[in-house]
Structure formats: C-alpha cells, structure tokens
Amino acid sequence: MFGDAKKNAPCIVFIDEIDAIGRQRASGGGFQGGNDEREQTLNQILTEMDGFKGNSGVIVIAATNRVDILDSALMRPGRFDRRVPVDLPDKEGRVAILKVHCRDKPLGGEVDLDQVAQRTTGFSGAMLQNLMNEAAIYAVRSDKETIGAENIDSALDRLTVGQSKDTGTNQKKRQELVAWHEAGHAVMAALTPGYDPVAKVTIVPRSNGAGGFTLFTPSEDRMDGGMYSYRYLVAQLAVALGGRVAEEMAFGSDDVTTGASNDLQQVRSIARRMVAQWGFTATDERPSGGTLRAPVAWELPEKNMGSPTTASKATERAIDREERKLVNKAYATCKETLKTNRALMQALVDALLDRETVDGAELERLVAEKAVVSTFAAA
C-alpha cells in the first residue's frame, strides 16, 4: 500500500478505524489479549511512516473514535503528530448534511429541513443519512411519491425511542395511566422557564418497553457548552418527577405504578451528582470552599454502587441528606405546579386519549389557554 502511494505521489493514504490495529501494546510485548498479526501490522505501519523523508508527496491520515487507546509510538512527532478533532455537526452543519442526503429523495412541500435539524441535536452525519433512508422507507410503505414531514417524524421516533407497537393501545385503563404520566412530564417542562421545549408527547408504546414518551428539543448552546446551571438541574429533577406526581394526582398513592422507575433512577443520579460532584445543595445559598465533596466512587453512582466505600460514614450521611433535600424540594415544586394547573393537565390528557400524540405547537396552545403561572415562574 505504501509502495503504491509513493509511486502515485502526490497521494493521500487514509486508514479508517486505526484503533483496530494500532491500540496500545502491553508492556511485556505483544498486545493485551495477544495478537501477533496485529502487532506485526502496527510495526510495519510505523516502519513505513518512518520511511517518508522530506517532501515525499504522501500524506497519511487516520481516523478513530478511540484515540485514548492508541499506541504511543503512533502519536510521536513525525508520525500522527497532528490531531484534528471532528465534533458532531451543529444545526447549520446538520442542515447542510440533510440537503446532501435529500438530493436523490423527493421531499414534500411541507418538509422543513431547518426544523428537522432542530430536532436532531447530537446526530452524526451517518445518523442523519440513516434518518432520511428510514423516512424514505416509511414513504414507500405509505404508497407516497414524496417523503412527507410525518415520514421523517416516524423515522426520527424509531431511531430515538424505538419502533411503535399496537400492543396495549386498546386497553383504556393503560392508555389513561400513560396519558397522565406523560402529561405530568410535558406540563412541568412547559411551565418551567428556560427548560428544553417539548417537541412531542405520545402514548403510543415503543419496542424499547416505553409505554409512551415526552420528546424534548435540547438547547444547542447548552449541549455544545456542556455546562448546566443549578436552576436547570433543579428543573430536570422536577420534570423527571412529573410522571410520578401526575399518577398520584389522578389515581391516588395506592394505585401509583412502577412506570416511573427509570425517572426515579434519573432523579437519584442527578441529585447525587449535584451534591457529590458539582457541590450544589438544596438551599438558596451556594456552597463555599467548605462544600461537601465526595470521592470519585460516588460521582457516577449508577456505575459505582458496587465499588468499595471510600467516603467516611459521616460524609455519606451528609451527601444522602442533601440529596434527599434536593429531591423533596423538587417534588414539592412539581406537585404544587401540577395541582395548580389541573385544568391544563386534564386538557392534555383528553387530547392524548383522543389522538394519541400531541406536538409541541398544540401543547403551546393548550398552555396559552389553560395554564396558571408555575411555581418556577413565580420564584
């Protein structure tokens, strides 16, 4: 390969997924797990790259998603010494990528690629290509000559939350329960200033086990920056608790279901990180230099609960106290907000039971007609 590259100079040699052959070798020689062929291939690549002297007209480029496991010999000066990070595309980039993958696909006049890009925050180019391919399949199944907005919407749902199912949709009690649960999430989010907008609420069950879902459109700036404010994190707690609170409101505490189990896991994870990792407490006064700070084992509880305890028992108790305060405060806020807006909740539940899915625009209309000022807005 390298010999052919020299003969055809100027030339670019591109090696995709180089971590398959270029991962770190064990200190005792050979690869961890043992693979002589892979080691020989890596050694040959290193030798060939050392053979390019001066301006040979050959540029070697490699791609990987795991630069952290590459052998240090590959990364030394004179070899792959220049790193070019390729981040996920922003909204403008997603629009451009969608246009490329729509060139040979007829789109309906109502399709707005800008709106599609808005709803695909965090998608890679390959995921956007797959999205349009799935949308084309939905259009063909519907005997349509063009890809409509509903086809793209169905494809997006399938890629993010799984394939829709008919099982359970004829069970009135089940549908009513899911409608109240999802309405709790959606209303709490809609009444929280600065929170992620609701794109869709549905009670159609999915192949991933979800009985329904509330889909949000995350803030581009917030995701790109990776920084979340105390206000936003507290709002996340309240929104996640919305389903459980709504079930209690509609059916009473004795008939609350296990449907909120994933929500409660999310609440616990966020609350613990707020205290142990980010130094937040439930009080209005932010902690100073003497804030609670737990060891690393506590910072990712969902991955480390089986780890040996490295914090003192007093510190563990203090973390648990602050965590409970955060959750209790968010629960009280959520309960007060949803009780105050019972009419809005009922209107959304009725709409879901009638049509199964409510989009963000319709939810905004219901909020404008029925909402009472939220606890968050009044604070």
Stated pTM of the model: 0.73
Spatial CA neighbour of 15 closest among 81, 62, 59: 62
Distance CA 250, CA 346 (A): 10
Distance CA 107, CA 104 (A): 9
Distance CA 299, CA 80 (A): 34
pLDDT on residue 44? 85
* Residue-level pLDDT, tens digit, the chain, 379 residues: 878 888 888 899 899 999 888 888 766 544 445 567 888 888 888 888 776 666 678 888 999 988 888 888 888 888 888 889 888 899 999 999 999 999 999 999 899 999 999 889 889 999 999 999 999 999 999 999 999 999 999 999 888 887 777 665 668 888 999 999 999 999 999 999 989 999 999 998 877 667 788 989 888 777 777 788 999 999 999 999 999 999 999 999 899 999 889 999 999 999 999 988 888 887 654 544 444 444 444 444 455 544 444 567 888 888 889 999 999 999 999 999 999 999 999 999 999 999 999 999 999 999 999 988 655 554 4
pLDDT on residue 38? 82
* Greatest distance between any 2 Cα atoms in the chain: 78
Domains of the chain by start residue, with CATH: 2-69 (3.40.50.300), 91-161 (1.10.8.60), 172-378 (1.20.58.760)
CB 238 within 8 A of CB 192: yes
| Residue tagged 């709409």 (tokens) | 351
**What letter does residue 105 receive in the DSSP assignment?**
S
pLDDT on residue 377? 54
Buried (b) or exposed (e) across 155-174, using 16+ Cβ within 10 A?
bbbbbbbeebeeeeeeeeeb
pLDDT on residue 299? 47
- Give the pairing of strands 357-359 and 198-202: antiparallel
Residues known to be catalytic? 182
At a CB cut-off of 8 Å and minimum separation 6, what does 281 contact? 275, 287, 291, 292, 322, 325, 326
pLDDT on residue 31? 46
| Residue tagged 């009419």 (tokens) | 343
Angle of helix 149-161 relative to helix 125-141, nearest 10 degrees, comes to: 120
Cross-strand partners of 70: 23
pLDDT on residue 293? 47
